[in-house]
Amino acid sequence: MESTVPSLTAFQLTLQTGTRTLVDSLDLTLESGEVLGILGANGAGKSTLLAVLAGLAAPTQGQVTLDGHALSALPPLTRAQHIGLLPQGDEGVFFGSVVNFVALGRYPFDDTQGKPVGHAPDDVAMQLLTWELTELAQRAFDTLSGGERQRARLAQLAVQQARIALLDEPLTHLDPAHQARLLAWARSEADAGRTVAMTLHDPNWAAGHCDRLLFLHGDGRWQLGVPADLLTPNALEALYGPGTAALWQQIGWGQTV
Amino acid sequence: MAGALPDDRELALQILTQLRGPRVAAAFACGGLLALAGALMQTLFRNPLAEPYLLGVSGGAGLLALLGMAAGLAWPWISALAFAGSLLALSLAAALGGRLLARDHTPLLLAGVMLAAGFGALIALVLSVTPAERLPGMLFFLMGDLAWTAQPALLWVALLLATAAALALAGRLDVLQLAPLKAASLGVAVAPTRWMLFILAGACTSLVVAQAGSIGFVGLMVPHALRKLGYSGHRALLPACALAGGSLLVLADALARTIIAPRELPVGVLTALLGVPLMLWLLRRP
């Protein structure tokens, strides 16, 4: 929100695990105001790419910059004031209540080492309301259902108000009502000039609600473009394997796009 | 007691200032350090079953202390050996399992649990070949016993320093309860903070083990119980652990001294006897 210039940029990014190349020489700039969808089969490197874009893992080659500064050189708290990450679900124990959990998203700003960057004190309450957690606020986090936990994780990310939000399969466990909530949130973030990038497995969602798509083929190849260009039956079968396009054809997205 | 008789007042005062007073002070500091170490270990491993001896500290300390006793060494040497043994156990656990601590604490946990099992077997071996008359002293050390504790001032300094150090990390520790990748994304340096926890908890535990043997249960139960009671943020939890752990051990030690007086029980027996019903009652609460 402080800046509307192109912010997070990956240059010639190569990601490898062992001897396998997942992503080869990726050039990607996350534009302000866009929702980017990242699609690919299991193990294609989507989560790894998000971790690298978040500055939490080093790429095999290439580099990621934030406003022209190498991400790896930024102090962790500074980085956390600009980039937020929603990792995939984690079954660890959290001892506190839901409101304690959500409020941790403000750590990059509350900590004495960081400068307060204008958080209203009711940010947490507002996000609890947005994600329909207000009534659960005092419940022990560990007593929540899977979908409620996912909403709490999303609220925790939302209170961070990062200008770049990276979400790893945010639709997990969400019912349609809360998928719509997520969609509205992502769109409002983008409208406020921020960037949302998310991995997902649902081409319908990608077709309707993402501005750009990144396909990761898991063998180094990648494709970047708008949904209308990328979401064809042939392209999806190339991405996910033979026969997969049948999963979506009956709904008729092929005709409407 | 004897203090009621005028003639014995001086004696009573001496007992209070030279025996009971220091022992109560040492008991409080030991209990506080153990509960603090337990809370730090639970946060380090993101597991409510973690406790100060999880990584083999008591095994390492016990083995070297018992070898010293078998060789007929006097207490200060036993204490030094116990301290060395606990540091040995922690170093081995760190060397064998500490590589990936930024992402995954499981290798450290596994290395520590394996070491504890190995030390346990060696302790059993030492016990089984030791002449019977030396066994009671060894068992008291293994169960934990405050009768030997000679340096309450040292323990108190350690308790105050450790509490202050842990409090300085409190905000980071709250975040460290989240998945490592999430904690890192919020700006916490996960691996360095985890190593600080490891060292701080290890130092607290080693110090207590060297002074009073392996007093069980305080470090597992006190932080867990306080968390159940709603002390979830570390800023409140850590000082509460120091206070509650200290109080529990003072109470347990008073009972250990008096229940079958003039004989004493190992204080570890009492901490468990007091703690188990309390913990079971807490777990039944909604």
Q: Domain residues for A196?
A: 8-90+162-256
For residue B121, is it within any domain? yes
For residue B233, is it within any domain? no
Of the candidates B177, B185, B227, the beta carbon closest to that of A80 is on: B185
CB within 8 Å of B119: residues ≥ 6 apart: B56, B58, B59, B60, B62, B63, B89
pTM of the prediction? 0.89
For residue A107, is it within any domain? no
For residue A6, whether the previous peptide bond is cis, meaning omega lies within 30 degrees of 0, is: no
For residue A85, the chain B residues in CB contact (below 8 A) are 181-182, 185
A96/B185 touch (CB, cutoff 8 Å), yes or no: no
Residue A86 has pLDDT above 90, yes or no: yes
CB within 8 Å of A111: residues ≥ 6 apart: A77, B171, B172, B187
At A113 the pLDDT is 43
Of the candidates B47, B179, B186, the beta carbon closest to that of A80 is on: B186
A85/B48 touch (CB, cutoff 8 Å), yes or no: no
Tell me the pLDDT tens digit for each residue of A153-184: 999 999 999 999 999 999 999 999 999 999 99
CATH of the domain at A21: 3.40.50.300
CB within 8 Å of B133: residues ≥ 6 apart: none
How many domains does chain B contain in total? 1
Confidence class for position B13, pLDDT limits 50, 70, 90:
confident
Q: What is the mean pLDDT of chain B?
A: 89
For residue B13, is it within any domain? no
**Cα B155 from Cα B138, distance rounded (Å):** 22
Query: What is the pLDDT averaged over residues B10-21?
Result: 83
CB within 8 Å of A214: residues ≥ 6 apart: A28, A36, A37, A38, A39, A222, A223, A224
How many domains does chain A contain in total? 1
Residue with tokens 């249960």: B217
Confidence class for position B150, pLDDT limits 50, 70, 90:
confident
Q: Does ipTM top 0.85? A: yes
Query: Scanning every residue of chain B, which has its alpha carbon at the shortest distance from the alpha carbon of A74?
Result: B187
For residue A132, is it within any domain? no
Query: Scanning every residue of chain B, which has its alpha carbon at the shortest distance from the alpha carbon of A77?
Result: B187
**Cα A253 from Cα A72, distance rounded (Å):** 41
For residue A152, is it within any domain? no
Q: What is the mean pLDDT of chain A?
A: 88
Q: Name the helix (H) or strand (E) containing A52.
A: helix A46-53
Tell me the pLDDT tens digit for each residue of B163-185: 999 999 999 999 999 999 999 99
A95/B188 touch (CB, cutoff 8 Å), yes or no: no
For residue A115, is it within any domain? no
- Count Cα atoms within 13 angstroms, Cβ side, for B168: 10
Tell me the pLDDT tens digit for each residue of A114-125: 444 444 457 899
> Which token pair is B211?
């002074």
For residue B68, is it within any domain? yes
For residue A125, is it within any domain? no
For residue B39, is it within any domain? no
For residue A243, is it within any domain? yes
B185/A54 touch (CB, cutoff 8 Å), yes or no: yes
For residue A47, is it within any domain? yes
Q: Domain residues for B145?
A: 47-214
Tell me the pLDDT tens digit for each residue of B22-64: 899 999 999 999 999 999 999 999 988 889 998 889 999 999 9
Would you call A13 helix, strand, or coil by DSSP? strand
At B19 the pLDDT is 80
**Cα B173 from Cα B171, distance rounded (Å):** 5
Of the candidates A76, A86, A97, the beta carbon closest to that of B187 is on: A76
In single-letter form, the type of residue at position A177 comes to A
CATH of the domain at B147: 1.10.3470.10
Residue B260 has pLDDT above 90, yes or no: no
